[in-house]
Structure 1
Amino acid sequence: MVDQTPLVSVIIPVYNSMPYLTQTLSSVLAQDLPDGALEVIAVDDGSTDGSGEELDRFAALDARLTVIHQPNSGWPGMPRNKGLALASGEFVFFMDSDDTMAPDALRVMAQMAQEDGADVVIPRMQGTGGRGVQGLFTKHPHGKITVNRAMETISPQKLFRMSLVRQHQLGFPEGKVRLEDGMFVARAYVLATRIDIFTERPLYFIATRDDGQNISAQSFDPAGYDQSVRTIAGILREGTPDAAAGDRLVLELFQRKGLRFYAPKRWLKMKPERQAAWIRLHHQFMQDLIPAGLEASAAKATDASKLALIRASDLEGMRELVSAASQFEHAAVLAAATAPAGVLDLKIKVNRPVAAASRDTEKTVPARAKAASVVALAATPLQRWKLTRGATRRLEELVAGSGPQVLLELSGRKKNKITAIRGRLHSVSADRTELEYHFVIPDERLRHYRGDIVDAWTVGRSEKGRLGERVRVSVGGGAPLAHARGLRNYATIQNNFSIDLRKSK
């Protein structure tokens, strides 16, 4: 009898994972794969909490599970490599010892890879215990995905074709190296002939541990983290023949892995010396790896502002920008969407904090806003023509005067293309706690998103040009949603506003 080659090998590094480990093992061994199609290799990395004994208990009951015990190596890289050396499947999946997966997860991912010829399949993830996941998993269309979008998730919980791994001798850095999994995944991405993402429903459930022992939650040295991001940047550059495309990938990597430290909730908790350390490291990163001026092309307006300050090594400017961002925290609700000829006309209400950024002009805002709204209504038909668009905008701004500003950002799901549109203040509530903004989007801008779904966000901006963090636009109860010229406005499952242009002409 010839031994059957497993379809999927699952590798699980384990260190002090009780009681989560029990559910993890039950989940993977309950996969609906045929006999002989699954092998599970768990590497106990010197656990002291009974995890090793739990592994042995499961192995005694199920021959598909192989357990390796070793002294603690301090990080998941070595255990994953040891499991990879023993794996014999057509595909390999890296699972964490505190997560679970849907009963058919491995089967549907392997089937997708076989049918499409994909070397990597990304499963849709869902957080448990309060764990957040990237919006990519619910927004990106099911099927093929580009490297730049795939780079939004570089954790190792993916299905990889073993021939890709063996041919290029892929492995994980060993020792205590931050983002060691991202290095493996980035290399696989740039080498893959095709990458797929499964988004029809959640397949993998990633947990937040009650004991706070997720590696991602542990403190770290900024210099070591910066070096890891540099390593990934080098992988992207080396694996991307088009130099300009490689530069763009590095910029987007830095936006995700560098700018995260300048989010208000994170930055404002840092000690001054740690803030200064990040600015120094990131300034040098941009000098070394991001061509001068490329940061101005960042799609998100807030990111472009932060990148400019880092490029200038302006620590005080960054402190001012991030501190001021709290003034712009707000909720944004779509009040109406209409589609007169040549444009999509949106009215969006935002609450008080955006207005608070301009208290000095507050008394004049209601009267000016009312006058500006009359001008805006009369000028709406002219917005379809580029020649008259600028003139009507300047007229509205002259009538409205200075006041709180809001940008609307349209973000495509498939290509992540972003367009920013400045709003016109339309009205102010009697108690001045709510402002209504008017956004006119010409059809020519929507055509950039043809074949895609577009999400809407708002960003508050001060009169000095300081920007807040962007906020998803929700749909108010009873808000009319226009459908015309191949576009469909709709409320998502989360009651957020999106535009479906997949059938647009």
Structure 2
Amino acid sequence: MPFDRSVSVIIPVHNGADFIGTALQSLERQVSDPARMQVVIIDDGSTDRTGDIAREFGDRLGEMVILRNESPQSVGTARVQGLKAADREYIAFLDADDWMAPGRLDHLMARCDELGVDFVRTDHVRAFETGQPREIHRAPEGRRDVPIAARDAILPTNHASLVDYPFPWAGIFHRRLVDDGRLAYDEGLHSFEDRVAIWRLALSDATVAVVDAPWIVYRRDVGTSLTQVFDRRQLAFIDGFALVRDLVMARDEDRVFEAKVIRQFLAIAAHHVARDRGMSHADRRLLRASIREFATTLDREPLAKEWEAIGMARRSQLGPAILPVLKEKASA
């Protein structure tokens, strides 16, 4: 196996001092020669020792680039900054509270090259801060070790597929995807940036393979994670779905995926409504108003069909926002 492949690892982080040392330590045994790895850290307005800890690894991880935003911009903006700074043949992502098993990146580069695909995806292990046993989370694609057109990996539209598995760190990407814009993130999105990016990539002519690999461990239920905060940053999923909707509706041949987008929207909207007790009263009202406003932009027929398919629990959660929209569209 040739060992001349190199990789840029992009790590966006905000106040990650409790975990980033473990993440960086896991990168020490990823490639045969440290010179073959570039680590790009985007310190997005941290007020703890994140930057100091990262600098302690400066002579242990090949080339290290630390970009500092004096105030937090967003995870979407941080990923954009990381891609601009990355200059190696392959691109990988790592969240600051996760870590990789030794040799993962070398293995992924080799598999991507052997299979002749633009990117590969892998399963991952979930580690829970609440003390639950770790569990394996499988990439939702039964075909393994074979090249697949990324667009075909969305099908069938009524089943879970790789656009339901948006994690940037669950694989590796050839940098040609960045150079021609197929792999791109959106500035200003505080969350959901990964789903927009995976849809953009899936609707392109990229090729993908799902492969087995040394594990990446995803730390769940971290109190400082954006998945655990309850403020307006969570409403970024509305802006994200607007971007996905526009991507899918831009070409006639992609409109077959409209129902898939609506199904995702209803599921994620219900998830946020179910956990909105942690939000302020004003943010709860804004959440419901934003869900309703976005629903008005959707075609009635697929919205009505997916509404019937989502189940009683989700209809109960979303009824005050969605039912008035369906009634208005029926009478229009």
State TM-score, norm by structure 1.
0.52
Q: Secondary structure at the match of 1:254?
A: helix
Task: Give the 5 Å matches for 1:326-405.
Answer: none
**Partner residue, 1:421:** none
Query: Cα distance, 1:25 vs. partner?
Result: 0.5
| Separation (CA, whole Å) in 2 of partners of 1:293 and 1:52 | 48
| Separation (CA, whole Å) in 2 of partners of 1:147 and 1:173 | 21
CA separation of 1:140 and 1:130: change in aligned 2, threshold 3 A: farther
| Separation (CA, whole Å) in 1 of partners of 2:98 and 2:177 | 25
Q: Secondary structure at the match of 2:12?
A: strand
Is 1:286 the counterpart of 2:295? The answer is yes
Query: Cα distance, 1:294 vs. partner?
Result: 4.6
**Partner residue, 2:19:** 20
Query: Cα distance, 1:23 vs. partner?
Result: 0.8
**Partner residue, 2:272:** 261
CA separation of 1:307 and 1:6: change in aligned 2, threshold 3 A: same
| Separation (CA, whole Å) in 2 of partners of 1:270 and 1:56 | 36
**Partner residue, 1:152:** 164
Choose which of 260, 264, 275 in structure 2 pairs with 1:249.
260
**Partner residue, 1:50:** 49
CA contact (8 A) 2:79 2:185 kept: yes
Alignment-mate amino acid for residue 183 of structure 1 = V
**Partner residue, 1:165:** 178
Q: Secondary structure at the match of 1:292?
A: helix
CA contact (8 A) 1:13 1:97 kept: yes
**Partner residue, 1:186:** 199
CA separation of 1:270 and 1:56: change in aligned 2, threshold 3 A: closer
**Partner residue, 2:10:** 11
Query: Cα distance, 1:70 vs. partner?
Result: 4.3
| Separation (CA, whole Å) in 2 of partners of 1:220 and 1:177 | 11
| Separation (CA, whole Å) in 2 of partners of 1:83 and 1:274 | 31
Query: Cα distance, 1:305 vs. partner?
Result: 4.6
Query: Cα distance, 1:20 vs. partner?
Result: 0.9
Say how many residue pairs are matched.
Answer: 307
Query: Cα distance, 1:38 vs. partner?
Result: 2.2
CA separation of 1:291 and 1:195: change in aligned 2, threshold 3 A: farther
Is 1:206 the counterpart of 2:207? The answer is no
CA contact (8 A) 1:105 1:203 kept: yes
CA separation of 1:107 and 1:282: change in aligned 2, threshold 3 A: same
| Separation (CA, whole Å) in 2 of partners of 1:236 and 1:29 | 40
What do residues 365-411 of structure 1 show as CA deviations (whole Å, max 9, x unaligned)?
xxxxxxxxxxxxxxxxxxxxxxxxxxxxxxxxxxxxxxxxxxxxxxx
CA contact (8 A) 2:140 2:162 kept: no
CA separation of 1:136 and 1:59: change in aligned 2, threshold 3 A: closer
Alignment-mate amino acid for residue 186 of structure 2 = P
| Separation (CA, whole Å) in 2 of partners of 1:114 and 1:127 | 27
CA contact (8 A) 2:90 2:173 kept: yes
- CA RMSD of superposed structures (Å): 3.6
**Partner residue, 1:230:** 242
**Partner residue, 1:219:** 230
CA contact (8 A) 1:296 1:304 kept: no
CA contact (8 A) 2:248 2:255 kept: no
CA contact (8 A) 1:237 1:250 kept: no
| Separation (CA, whole Å) in 2 of partners of 1:269 and 1:63 | 42
Q: Secondary structure at the match of 2:79?
A: helix
Q: Secondary structure at the match of 1:10?
A: strand
CA contact (8 A) 1:5 1:90 kept: no
Query: Cα distance, 1:122 vs. partner?
Result: 2.2
| Separation (CA, whole Å) in 1 of partners of 2:154 and 2:40 | 29
| Separation (CA, whole Å) in 2 of partners of 1:83 and 1:14 | 11
| Separation (CA, whole Å) in 2 of partners of 1:274 and 1:46 | 24
Structure exhibiting the larger radius of gyration computed from Cα positions: 1
Identity within the alignment, %: 19
Alignment-mate amino acid for residue 291 of structure 2 = H
**Partner residue, 1:484:** none
Query: Cα distance, 1:22 vs. partner?
Result: 1.0
Q: Secondary structure at the match of 1:191?
A: coil
| Separation (CA, whole Å) in 2 of partners of 1:52 and 1:150 | 34
CA contact (8 A) 2:8 2:86 kept: yes
CA separation of 1:286 and 1:142: change in aligned 2, threshold 3 A: same
CA contact (8 A) 2:166 2:194 kept: yes
Q: Secondary structure at the match of 2:87?
A: coil
**Partner residue, 2:330:** none
CA contact (8 A) 1:119 1:192 kept: no
Listed as ranges, the gaps of 5+ residues in structure 2 are 156-160, 326-332
More strand by share: 1
CA contact (8 A) 1:45 1:73 kept: yes
| Separation (CA, whole Å) in 1 of partners of 2:76 and 2:82 | 10
Query: Cα distance, 1:162 vs. partner?
Result: 0.9
State TM-score, norm by structure 2.
0.76
What do residues 339-378 of structure 1 show as CA deviations (whole Å, max 9, x unaligned)?
xxxxxxxxxxxxxxxxxxxxxxxxxxxxxxxxxxxxxxxx
